[in-house]
Structure 1
């Protein structure tokens, strides 16, 4: 174990634990308030006291004026009180992100600065004077992470604090700039985890569990980046599903993860679905000339999509009784089961929308028509919305709902073109609204465009029902995103809203049979960010 000595960090010399504050309070009191807690509201006072004691935090010191606020202390406390619950779908002692942060921030400079950076970035949206603090703490965190990366890691001890530091900085980069995806941190995280995967047998049981946890975290982060980041503009070969994806839940299915929920496998299938759709759209967009190679590639994508679709149809969502409790009253395990089912539907919906052969074949086998096939896509979106409607707005799963809202939104397509009166008859409409109501109608009121509008409003009952369903779905998506915008870091959510509305605008201009695809619009408009 001598080789591990270099791995253990000395107490960090950033502001939060600087020598000048060595005997000062870490959780300060004010004249009117008791000491702040390093733990979230779900803990009892006894649990909070025990947790803080374990973190070797020195409490109140009379040498510090009670009216002062120590900014690093405030930010770290705010991370435990608010940001941690916002960043995870459930937050309790079973959330390893919280546990690692609580046990390591006092000795890991990189982690301490990373927690401050996240808290400052979260607060900066509503408290502008934290913007400068967010930048300075991020710089300090990156410098500390670089120093820790330069050290030789002990193969017998998983560097949890270093991994969590990179997750914190990397996944929260979009809170300040939506176009920052944290890719350098993701790359380093993958490298470290891969090295420890090869020497897994040297780790303790706790570290092996932590390795699995961080691997799942990396998979989720990688999925989010792959959805929106064109790392290689060249068309790549489609990923194979036959050997890469599990056909049934693994033995770890009953475990919980604050990002992937109750089923990491479902997230992997969703990830695979998006990659297939992106690859297929890239082929269709770039291959303007048909060739035997392009046709073979298209057929290969379709084959992979069919295999993945069959897996999604038969993949069992874990039952509640087989899942351990979250320990979070705001997020019972039933919410995570519902989210898993929603992601299964979302993965299916992306395949249906992208691969017309898939939905047409599936519908024809059931005796349906092409109209039924198009409606099936809408039905999947409506089912996702129904699931989200059942989950309370206060549920911690809101942090993994943006992708579901995006998916449901892009499925809400009218089956007729939308007529815009202002485009056809701006002056005539203005004249009508300002004319004397007792005067005789003028010949201008018989303008042909009005006839077109009247004709297009005489919709069949089926079309009207679908239009109403689409309009209600769109309204829900916008309302839910607006709520998420106020309860999550808002900048990424605004990008999701803009993307959904851009897709709708493109749909509405073409109506039924539209070839518009959200992936193309995202790439063209650069409306991309971390959607989760």
Structure 2
């Protein structure tokens, strides 16, 4: 086949001598040679499919048209530089110019005049950004639906060279060739009528190819790295950020409705996706930090709007929940304290503000945000030095009551009233927010007491007034935990996740209750000694069978260590009963750390107990190692590697005969992280 001859010879697949002004084959046939001009082919290789209909973006019920958002922003923002109470539209998305995305809150489309009816200025750059991003919305919308697979899919949708992989929407279009018309063996002595028919065929073929080349193809769109990160969030990250994944998962559904109109959320989910992908692709770690910084900048602007009363707090709170607890994903030592303070400042006023009884939407929102804050406070209680502890001012929850004052009854609702309606587990606190609220207070109490002892604070000395107050408050928290009753499975609404059953939530709630008791008894042995000496102390608890095999005898230090071993093994047995694919895995690391810190080997010369022996300790340690390693493959690994290092160091010291507490080791080595 000739590639450099005249157009007619190439069509006939004849060898062309390329003489000028006409080739020999054309002169032999007595026809005019078409010449040697190259056909100019319009490349569609890098074009995105931008039909006019895609400019109207619809993702979720609250999506507004671009014109509506522009008019709303013009009315709410006189300067035209900030957004209204509704978050910015998708047209403020960043462009992908060498990876340097522009912050979406910069608005060039609003008129700068003082006229309240100012017109919208549409620059070509913003039009391109809107159209390019809109073409990816169908892809992202597909990712928003929960995946139904047998095993958790840990997919890394980036190739080894960092380029996005997608077999359905391949951005590389194949170069088209001209259709073959004719036969290689066609004789050079064809009749003129056949030649004229061939000329007509050539013209038709060229016209057809011209039409095909100028028509964009739906599959030929450039998938930007930003959109791949957004897709990965909805495919994999929102799954691990909640204890269940379904349409009821707010980190899928709520984020899915507003990610394209909230700059802080838009960048936050990208930073989360990049941090999780960094488990396999370390070169994405800087991308995650870059997206995190852009989310911080957008969040600062939105917080100023909320403070000025120009924007509601719901979207900002959701962004804070996404950014605060994932700060350690990028830097294991970053506790996200400033985000916690911002969340407190926004949530507390909502909880104390009067809400009409018939406004169920606000009540559900307040309950979600309050329980999210409870979980966050629980994680921070053990590691945050800024968490204040004062036994004279116990935690008072507007919906759950004040600690130490509201006795628990069997089958009670989280508000303290007798349960009537079924309730849905929270993505983080599950079914026992009151237990986690107590656990948070225990974390503050234990951290304050141990750090005071480490640094020689006189308050930590026995028989001091402050010590007596602290001991009394620890006893109150113990009573609260012992009196807590877990709801039954039939009291729960099924969240719709096949991997997370109702029993999983019950087991995790019981593990948190026992972990709280474990920390109290470890730091305040007088309470455990008193409880073990009370013949009626365990009758109404779920851990009565864990008492040592010689009840009623004098409790020596060895006896109490064995009992703590038994309680730690009980906690780990609850977690071991859960499949590793359970959605509750994201809430288990702090339980594993607390229980693993008490897995000391038992010397047969000192004590023997059927509930704690060395073989069980070895098995429990293997389980902790395996479960934590599994989590490093599913969850962002930086905080988990620090927790694994902490556990191994505690075990090393215990095996060397040292009486150490895991929190002491953490503080002394500066290994605080979000667990």
Match of 2:57 in 1: none
Q: Is the 8 A contact 1:335 1:395 kept in 2?
A: yes
Match of 2:521 in 1: 352
1:54-101 alpha-carbon deviations (Å, 9 max, x no partner): xxxxx9995676363222221111111100011111112222232220
> Structure 1 residues 87 and 239 mapped into 2: Cα distance closer, same or farther (>3 Å)?
farther
Structure 1 residue corresponding to 2:333, chosen from 179, 193, 203: 179
Match of 1:256 in 2: 425
In the alignment, does 2:266 pair up with 1:112?
yes
Deviation at 1:294, TM superposition (A): 6.0
In the alignment, does 2:633 pair up with 1:486?
yes
Q: Is the 8 A contact 1:27 1:37 kept in 2?
A: no
- Give the alignment of 1:27-42 within 5 angstroms: 28=136, 36-42=142-148
How many aligned residue pairs are there?
468
Range that drifts further, 256-265 or 294-303: 294-303
Cα separation, 2, equivalents of 1:263 and 1:463: 32
Q: Unpaired segments of 5 or more residues in structure 2? A: 1-71, 78-82, 96-103, 105-125, 150-167, 170-214, 396-401, 536-551
> Structure 1 residues 480 and 71 mapped into 2: Cα distance closer, same or farther (>3 Å)?
same
Match of 1:407 in 2: 594
Match of 2:407 in 1: 247
> Structure 1 residues 64 and 231 mapped into 2: Cα distance closer, same or farther (>3 Å)?
farther
Deviation at 1:373, TM superposition (A): 2.4
Q: Is the 8 A contact 2:459 2:467 kept in 1?
A: no
- Give the alignment of 1:155-234 within 5 angstroms: 158-201=312-355, 204-231=359-386
Structure 1 residue corresponding to 2:661, chosen from 517, 520, 529: 517
Cα separation, 2, equivalents of 1:479 and 1:27: 43
Match of 2:608 in 1: 462
Deviation at 1:170, TM superposition (A): 1.5
Deviation at 1:172, TM superposition (A): 1.0
Cα separation, 2, equivalents of 1:299 and 1:224: 26
Deviation at 1:379, TM superposition (A): 1.0
Q: Is the 8 A contact 1:87 1:399 kept in 2?
A: yes
Match of 2:132 in 1: 24
Structure 2 residue corresponding to 1:296, chosen from 458, 462, 465: 465
The alignment partner of 1:255 has SS state of coil
Cα separation, 2, equivalents of 1:318 and 1:90: 18
Deviation at 1:523, TM superposition (A): 0.5
Match of 1:130 in 2: 284
> Structure 1 residues 492 and 62 mapped into 2: Cα distance closer, same or farther (>3 Å)?
farther
Higher Cα radius of gyration: 2
Q: Is the 8 A contact 1:220 1:260 kept in 2?
A: yes
Structure 2 residue corresponding to 1:372, chosen from 552, 559, 566: 559
Cα separation, 2, equivalents of 1:284 and 1:189: 31
Q: Is the 8 A contact 1:28 1:66 kept in 2?
A: no
Match of 1:144 in 2: 298
Match of 1:52 in 2: none
Q: Is the 8 A contact 2:140 2:231 kept in 1?
A: no
The alignment partner of 1:24 has SS state of helix
1:292-349 alpha-carbon deviations (Å, 9 max, x no partner): 9962222222211222212211210111111111111111221011100010011011
Structure 1 residue corresponding to 2:436, chosen from 261, 267, 270: 267
Match of 1:529 in 2: 673
TM-score (norm 2): 0.64
Q: Which has the higher contact order (CA 8 A, sep 6+)?
A: 1
> Structure 1 residues 251 and 284 mapped into 2: Cα distance closer, same or farther (>3 Å)?
closer
1:475-500 alpha-carbon deviations (Å, 9 max, x no partner): 21111111111111111111111111
Q: Is the 8 A contact 1:323 1:333 kept in 2?
A: yes
Match of 1:384 in 2: 571
Match of 1:55 in 2: none
Q: Is the 8 A contact 1:100 1:160 kept in 2?
A: no
Cα separation, 2, equivalents of 1:222 and 1:528: 14
1:249-303 alpha-carbon deviations (Å, 9 max, x no partner): 4455733210000110111111122222222223433446689996222222221
Q: Is the 8 A contact 2:489 2:503 kept in 1?
A: yes
The alignment partner of 1:502 has SS state of helix
The alignment partner of 2:143 has SS state of coil
Structure 2 residue corresponding to 1:326, chosen from 488, 492, 495: 495
> Structure 1 residues 29 and 95 mapped into 2: Cα distance closer, same or farther (>3 Å)?
closer
Deviation at 1:204, TM superposition (A): 4.7
Match of 1:285 in 2: 454
In the alignment, does 2:554 pair up with 1:476?
no
Q: Is the 8 A contact 2:86 2:311 kept in 1?
A: no
Q: Is the 8 A contact 1:174 1:492 kept in 2?
A: yes
Greater helix content? 1
Q: Unpaired segments of 5 or more residues in structure 1? A: 44-58, 417-457
Cα separation, 2, equivalents of 1:197 and 1:510: 49
Match of 1:76 in 2: 230
